[in-house]
């Protein structure tokens, strides 16, 4: 019976769609996540006609890193599912794809089961897909972590604002054209302070930088490129398994595994 990896490829496609969604809502940052508004602050009440001050302030509308972590977790969860679906097709329900640290792989019981069901799988995994000190090993650590209950919390990104671009404001008789300012995108930011009222255009663009946190296997790595590399690693894995299990091009996906209908 041929080894059918369609379910795995559907999960891989879903992961790439989550990555694209993450890119669309952060490049630039979607305005639904923040507000830029003018705040007027009264002067000291002890003064007669106390002077007011004005601030143009960037304010998050929700916990942005935690919100984006949900999308990141969904992408990685789908990548993990793509691998696990392949393991189930090779062996049986309840079998999970080995994503343990590379040093632990040779002794994994799951690896023994998959080798028995698909001879050559052990060599494929240890020497081709996950060679010792391979460049993709941190990505496997990231994917492997997506199987626990707190996966979204584990993937809360470090979010920093590169800048708010295109700030156009008038303060009294002075004009600020196409200015930029920035700081931590997860917290309120005072973009402009003034003793005079501020008139401003809201046609701003907010650029942010996202990196994985220190507790992950890819600390300080840019989130979207890293997710794309992880998806590519999963796709290579599925392709290699497909070639190993279904070695005859004329069979269009047929293979030697017969214990899974």
| pLDDT tens string 188-236 | 988 888 988 888 877 788 888 899 988 899 999 999 999 999 999 999 9
Q: Using 50, 70 and 90 to split pLDDT, how confident is the model at 254?
A: very low
**34-41 β-sheet, strand order:** 34-41, 53-60, 189-194
Instruction: Write out the DSSP string of 148-174.
Output: STTHHHHTPPEEEEEEEEEEEEEETTE
Which has the higher per-residue pLDDT, 148 or 40? 40
Residues 13-54: pLDDT tens digits?
Answer: 999 999 999 999 999 999 999 999 999 988 666 666 667 899
**Residue bearing the bigger pLDDT, 112 or 49:** 112
**pLDDT at 253 > cutoff 70:** no
Model confidence band, residue 260 (pLDDT cutoffs 50, 70, 90): very low
* Residue-level pLDDT at 239: 96
Q: How far is CA 139 from the centre of its chain?
A: 12
Going by C-beta distance under 8 Å and a sequence separation of 6 or more, which residues neighbour residue 112?
A: none
Average pLDDT over residues 43-72: 84
The partner residues of 234 in beta bridges, in order of sequence, read: none
Q: Is 177's pLDDT higher than 60?
A: yes
Average pLDDT, the chain: 87
Give helix 64-90 / helix 223-245 axis angle, nearest 10°.
10
- DSSP notation for 170-214: EETTEEEEEEEE---TTS-EEEEEESS-EEE----EEEEEEE--T
Residue with tokens 């920035």: 182
**pLDDT tier, 241 (very low <50, low <70, confident <90, very high otherwise):** very high
Instruction: Kindly report, residue by residue over 114-147, the tens digit of the pLDDT.
Output: 999 999 999 999 999 999 999 999 999 999 988 6
* Contact by Cβ (8 Å): 231, 79: yes
Q: What pLDDT is attached to residue 243?
A: 94
More confident residue, 2 or 111: 111
Cα 185 to chain centroid, rounded: 17
Kindly report the pTM of this predicted structure.
0.85
Model pLDDT, residue 46: 66
Arithmetic mean of pLDDT, 156-184: 81
Distance CA(72)–CA(223), nearest Å, equals 8
């Amino acid at each position: 019976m041929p080894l059918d990896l369609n379910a795995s490829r559907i999960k891989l496609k879903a992961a790439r769609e989550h990555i694209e969604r993450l890119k669309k809502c952060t490049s630039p940052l979607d305005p639904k996540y923040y507000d830029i508004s003018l705040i007027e602050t009264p002067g000291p009440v002890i003064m007669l006609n106390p002077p007011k001050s004005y601030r143009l302030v960037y304010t998050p509308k929700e916990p942005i890193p935690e919100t984006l972590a949900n999308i990141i977790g969904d992408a990685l969860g789908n990548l993990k599912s793509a691998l696990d679906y392949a393991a189930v097709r090779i062996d049986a329900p309840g079998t999970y794809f080995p994503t343990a640290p590379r040093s632990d792989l040779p002794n994994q019981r799951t690896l023994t089961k998959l080798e028995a069901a698909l001879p050559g799988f052990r060599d494929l995994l240890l020497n081709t897909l996950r060679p010792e000190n391979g460049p993709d090993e941190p990505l496997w650590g990231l994917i492997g972590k997506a199987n626990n209950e707190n996966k979204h919390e584990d993937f809360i990104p470090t979010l920093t604002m590169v800048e708010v671009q295109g700030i156009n404001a008038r303060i009294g008789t002075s004009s600020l054209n196409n200015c930029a300012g920035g700081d931590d995108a997860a917290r309120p930011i005072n973009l402009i302070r003034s003793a005079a009222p501020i008139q401003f255009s809201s046609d701003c663009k907010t650029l942010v930088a996202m990196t994985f946190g220190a507790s992950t296997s890819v600390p300080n790595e840019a989130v979207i490129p890293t997710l794309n590399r992880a998806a590519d690693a999963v796709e290579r894995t599925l392709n290699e398994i497909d070639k190993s299990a279904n070695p005859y091009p004329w069979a269009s996906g047929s293979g030697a595994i017969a214990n899974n209908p």
